[in-house]
Structure 1
């Protein structure tokens, strides 16, 4: 099926061996209304040329796109491929299987406005953009062999939406920057969660379960020197968990100004590894490390107080950890998923000259758990393992113990 003129075009029904080709200088809107397209020698939808290409998923419809493992025209890079700007919107569902390369691919910008997009599988990336990749809303469930979301040259921006990502390589990756302003993002499987030169988290809920680094900011190569890359967490709820790498691995600077950050360190590596400056000026930060070395913590002029301690022995996974002030007020409760030795905690509740106690074990009753932080719960019992008095300036108060 060839579309050579602009305007609205409705597609419904089954095409068992073919594709839709768009080739025009005008804007094209393709309305998928119960379309099932399978191609045995190329992509299912191929926009060779358009001023701008829109796909609308009609409400209450399920649409399916499937390609093949070999393409006649290998300039097309995915099951749904556009040479020009691509925008997907609507209230329907789009199921995609990518057998050749990417599931959705655009040589310019790719924007997801809304709709339900399910990438059942792809041999490479789920959504791959040469330009910017913008997620403004919708529901995305992506399972792929390589990267779930990738932009080659520009920013990945997530404004809203519910994303569940399972990747063989990275969850979100770009050579420039990742910005998260909202949404509910769950990276349930990946090697690295977010890999980017600049990562800015301003809102939303983010949970990453990774094998290697959950958050990695670098200028393209591993180095122990400050390379100018940066991680900024300014709001939202962030949970990071890695099984073997540095959960937070920043070749440059880390700056936390707000939000809630819970970090579960991996076996053998610290929860946070920052080569540049590490400052905290707002929010709640709780980092546990499962190796017998200390997590990195703010050592410079951070406006907010931080306490850090090294325990005399490893605590087993899922053991309750509670921070209380001198009046017995609970400041934070969590149950790290792996054994932990070291603890870093920062909160606006920490005050100059006051003492704070870390408790291990005990009983947690009630409360609501969001990203491994248990809020509104009661805590009883437990063993006081460390009491730290905050010093006279908002740097880190350390109770360092060696085994």
Structure 2
């Protein structure tokens, strides 16, 4: 902090030493390879042992073998045996089924529900053959007891099941609150069509397993459409759900091998007031065409509510092996409270919160992802991208790794106070990632390892966000990483192997202006024309070799770019050279935490309309930082209380033996600068941090810069300037 305020006294000395900076810029590029190739200060947890990429063996999934993911032979059957058909008992106000067999219903059945009360080992088949069963007084079908019940829609038949709008019926400890309600395992199958209307609360409820195979099913419900407490399993069905709360739900949290949703093929369309698909232990999707709109979609405002509006949610794990997904959700599009692994699939996601979130691990093994709207794109304690194509647009971070969980809403945002610092890992080992973010591009509260793939980032165009952000360490050992953003909090990788990494800051470039890295033959290694303004680049790729010379170019035109504005070996014409650099170290330029190099932002203007930072006050209660021990001015002038400057009372020498009396004339404008700086060995005079007493007061300052005639104050043996204040450049 002392250097910040000492610069107000030693203005020209600061200018002369401005080449020693964190991020090389246009005004410091000529010999910046010498300066920036010095070893970086490593983060506190840095060690020389290289980070290793993740493998599937590192994934922390619960044992899926405990879940019954099979479909029985009878689940898959679509017809029925005429020889086993029985007539139900006509009980006056209901049809009663009390024994195993097949029962066929047809025609109109009004206010006369079907009740199954059979033996615990009895298997019952109810065949619906062009039947409408409506009951204005309560449920339409109630399965009180059986081993398993099959409700089969006969071939080419159209059937309707509907309950009343307002009723309360209990049986023991259970509320019978679905149009179809079962206490036994329930399977819906057949090649016909079934429409279920849950006018009171739920559509179809099973307190055990709920299986839907091959059937064309539509459910309209005030609450949950499909609720299988132990599980919901779907095989090659055509399902349309319109639910006031959850679309598909399995909520057994007590049993280790229950509370899961499994989907193997078919077409599912869900419009839900709350979650589209929700399970307590596991959501496992092998394949299918799945479309979800939850909570009204991503355009809705997500509040601090205990309600959940996610697309696909599991309190346990999520495993997706394939399928086509289109999810438009008010909350997270895909959310796991443990680990989410996506092996393949085609995903189009729009979210009012995160695109894909996992509290523990999120692994993208392969697949195509278009996340058009989200708060954060990919978020977990550990994020691993192994392969696939990912394009995301985020209002905050593109990829965020932090420890903890984000509850079910955004009241305590993860990575913004809800997650723990220092916990978080990001591994990118393959694939193609395009990130357009208004916050950080790739952000970890802990570690980052890029070992393969192509990562293209356009982060925030201003503010305290950057393309690469980490609290621990960031290693690059392979692949391509290109990030264009703002310089305020820009960071480079902390360690590189096999290839170089360059961090460079320059004047602000307009959106869609191409940026290229050219090799010694003036051929573009990589080019990126981002959709937002930028003034800083962080670039790493295998073509950046130690000892080689490269040119950074902006402007002009570029050909051979993909839909995101990125290209390898593209053609860049009529560009303007920013700098030529030589990689004398694999890490070229470092930064972070506001270290923006020797150049002011916004073309050298004082920030905040010329006002001092932090409200114009010195830090820590208005006290000036202490000056060097024993310091004194030259020519015998003294600081108050007799303090002295170091080294016998002399001001530190100017580079190249220059004298303070030899100052150039300075009229407030910046002199021409060709990028060179005088030699500097990096040493500084001894300094114990003391300064004379200071009461914290500051003279009024209106933001204007005083004229300076080039002469030093009389304390330094020259003529006084026009003002007592000295401009800071």
User: TM-score scaled to structure 1, two decimals?
Assistant: 0.88
Residue of structure 2 in register with 1:395 after alignment? 587
Distance 1:216 1:275 in 2: 12
Structure 2: tracts of 5 or more residues without a match: 1-179, 252-258, 297-308, 405-414, 591-595, 601-729
Distance 1:184 1:344 in 2: 26
- C-alpha deviations, 1:74-117, integer Å up to 9, x for none? xxxx2210132211121x32110111x21110111001111111
Give the drift of 1:241: 1.4
| Larger Rg, first or second structure (1 or 2) | 2
Distance 1:195 1:236 in 2: 17
Residue of structure 2 in register with 1:281 after alignment? 477
Residue of structure 2 in register with 1:346 after alignment? 540
- C-alpha deviations, 1:196-252, integer Å up to 9, x for none? 111011100111201011111111354799513111111000111112x22222110
Structural mapping, 1:213-252, within 5 Å: 213-220=397-404, 222=416, 227-243=422-438, 245-252=439-446
Distance 1:94 1:28 in 2: 16
Of 69, 72, 97, which residue of structure 1 is paired with 2:271? 97
Q: Give the strand-richer structure, 1 or 2.
A: 1
Residue of structure 1 in register with 2:211 after alignment? 29
Residue of structure 2 in register with 1:172 after alignment? 356
Q: Is the 8 A contact 1:307 1:388 kept in 2?
A: no
Residue of structure 1 in register with 2:504 after alignment? 309
Distance 1:301 1:95 in 2: 47
Runs of 4+ with deviation above 6 angstroms = none
Structural mapping, 1:244-283, within 5 Å: 245-267=439-461, 268=463, 269-283=465-479
User: TM-score scaled to structure 2, two decimals?
Assistant: 0.50
Distance 2:291 2:472 in 1: 39
- C-alpha deviations, 1:35-93, integer Å up to 9, x for none? 111012x211110225xx421234xx4x2101125xxxxxxxx2210132211121x32
Q: Give the helix-richer structure, 1 or 2.
A: 2
Distance 1:12 1:107, change over 3 A: farther
Corresponding residue pairs, total: 379
Distance 1:293 1:321 in 2: 19
Of 54, 61, 66, which residue of structure 1 is paired with 2:242? 66
Higher relative contact order (CA 8 A, sep 6+): 2
Distance 1:139 1:239 in 2: 20
SS in 2 for 1:258: strand
Distance 1:126 1:135 in 2: 14
SS in 2 for 1:64: strand
Give the drift of 1:302: 3.9
Q: Is the 8 A contact 2:187 2:213 kept in 1?
A: no
Residue of structure 2 in register with 1:200 after alignment? 384
Distance 1:241 1:109 in 2: 31
Structure 1: tracts of 5 or more residues without a match: 70-77
1:163 aligns with 2:343: no
1:88 aligns with 2:263: yes
Q: Is the 8 A contact 1:102 1:128 kept in 2?
A: yes
Residue of structure 1 in register with 2:284 after alignment? 111
Of 188, 191, 195, which residue of structure 1 is paired with 2:372? 188
Q: Is the 8 A contact 2:525 2:569 kept in 1?
A: no
Give the drift of 1:277: 0.6
SS in 1 for 2:290: strand
Q: Is the 8 A contact 1:324 1:357 kept in 2?
A: yes
Distance 2:315 2:552 in 1: 48
- C-alpha deviations, 1:309-352, integer Å up to 9, x for none? 111x1000000111110112221111111111000111111112
Of 112, 119, 129, which residue of structure 1 is paired with 2:314? 129
